[in-house]
Amino acid sequence: MSIQIRDLTYVYSENLPYETVALDHINMEIRDHSFNGIIGHTGSGKSTLIQHLNGLLKPKSGQIIVDGIDITGSDVKLREIRKMIGLVFQYPEYQLFEETVQKDVAFGPLNLGLSQENVEARVREALTLVGLDFSELADRSPFELSGGQKRRVAIAGVIAMKPKVLVLDEPTAGLDPRSHRDILQLIRNVHEQEKNTIVLVSHNMGDIAALSDQVFVMEKGKLILSGTPREVFANTALLKGIGLGLPPAAELMEQVRQRCADAPRDVLTVEEAEQQIVRWFGKDKKC
């Protein structure tokens, strides 16, 4: 499922003294089956942008075209859009509310009007996909679980609706390193298994570089840069100028290069850094 965003503008508190232009003429294309990373400083408009993707916010102007249909049109049913595009909010565990894990994950699929049997199958599948044991956890209260488990339950609730586009707003924020790794792995697994389109908002440049096909950089409501991770992270000065880092391996090589100008460029991942450094040391290194 592809999404085209055309000239999207959104203003909070319009005509009030504290009016904020949160999105300023954004144009972007999200391709079918692709993995898209969105980065940007706090307040740059990332959350506002993704809340437009499932019709939660209505633009001041512009269009959002999902598989050829403009979802900002007044005749479009939001229920249909939300069936196709699933949004995992930041800190989604705060929205858990049912008395059992099973009921919480079932909430979305039940709203889609699926049969009880179908819903149960979806709940089992979604919990397995997020790495939780159905038989162990189905009847437990979500409130008794650990932070990482709660977050997985909340993500399972969206996955169980089998959205064609899965949008996640900083899904690893505030997690310990192990839960962070697990959540990323589960996003990868869902992408592979469901063959869906992913839109991931993250502050972690290493994750974005490792996972994304396309990266979009937001700054003060504008889309200032987009491209493959390699294209985007080549803009070191621009990214640093807006307070964003580089993926750790790229940052390391950048530091080395400041001492030795012939150190390898164009390094994104730890594996690449390792290969390039070995090759570099094999050559006639100048310093």
DSSP output for the chain: --EEEEEEEEEESTTSTT-EEEEEEEEEEE-TT-EEEEEE-TTSSHHHHHHHHTTSS--SEEEEEETTEETTSTTS-HHHHHHHEEEE-SSGGGG--SSSHHHHHHHHHHHTT--HHHHHHHHHHHHHHTT--HHHHTTS-GGGS-HHHHHHHHHHHHHTT--SEEEEESTTTT--HHHHHHHHHHHHHHHHHH--EEEEE-S-HHHHHHH-SEEEEEETTEEEEEE-HHHHHT-HHHHHHTT----HHHHHHHHHHHH-TTS--S--SHHHHHHHHHHHHHS----
Backbone phi, psi, residue 244, to 5°:
-105, 150
Does 202 contact Mg ion by CB under 5 A?
A: no
Q: Which is nearer to ligand ADP, 19 or 176 (CB)?
A: 19
Q: Footprint of ligand ADP on this chain (CB under 6 A)? A: 12-13, 20, 22, 40, 42-48
Considering the complex, what minimum distance in angstroms separates the CB of residue 12 from ligand ADP?
3
Beta bridge partners of 197: 165
- The option from Mg ion, ligand ADP, none interacting with 20 (CB < 5 to 8 A, set by class) reads ligand ADP
| Interaction of residue 47 with Mg ion, rule CB under 5 A | yes
Task: Tell the smallest beta-carbon distance from residue 47 to Mg ion (Å).
Answer: 3
Picking from 228, 272, 232, the residue whose alpha carbon sits closest to that of residue 249 is 272
- Return the number of other C-beta atoms located less than 10 Å from residue 127's C-beta: 25
By beta-carbon proximity to ligand ADP, the closer residue of 73 and 243 is 243
* Beta pairing, strands 35-40 & 214-219: parallel
Q: Cβ 245 to Mg ion, closest distance in Å?
A: 17
Question: Residue 46 or residue 122: which is nearer to ligand ADP going by CB?
Answer: 46
Nearer to Mg ion, 47 or 72 (CB): 47
List the single partner that 12 binds among Mg ion, ligand ADP, none, CB under 5 to 8 Å by kind: ligand ADP
Are 121 and 139 in contact by the 8 Å Cβ rule? The answer is no
Touching Mg ion, residues 78-97 (CB under 5 A): none
Query: Smaller CB distance to ligand ADP: residue 43 or 227?
Result: 43
Shortest CB 57 distance to ligand ADP, Å = 9
Give min distance, CB of 232 to Mg ion, in A.
19
Residue 15 binds which of ligand ADP, Mg ion, none (CB < 5-8 A, kind-dependent)? none
Residue with smaller CB distance to ligand ADP, 26 or 249: 26
Q: How far is the CB of 48 from Mg ion (least distance, A)?
A: 8
Nearest-approach distance from CB 84 to ligand ADP, in angstroms: 22
Q: Which is nearer to ligand ADP, 45 or 92 (CB)?
A: 45
Q: Of these partners, Mg ion, ligand ADP, none, which one is at the site of residue 258 (CB under 5 to 8 Å by kind)?
A: none
Per CB under 5 A, the segment of 40-48, 122-130, 209-217, 237-245 that binds Mg ion is 40-48
| 36 lies in the site for Mg ion, by CB under 5 A | no
Q: Which residues are near Mg ion by CB under 5 A?
A: 46-47
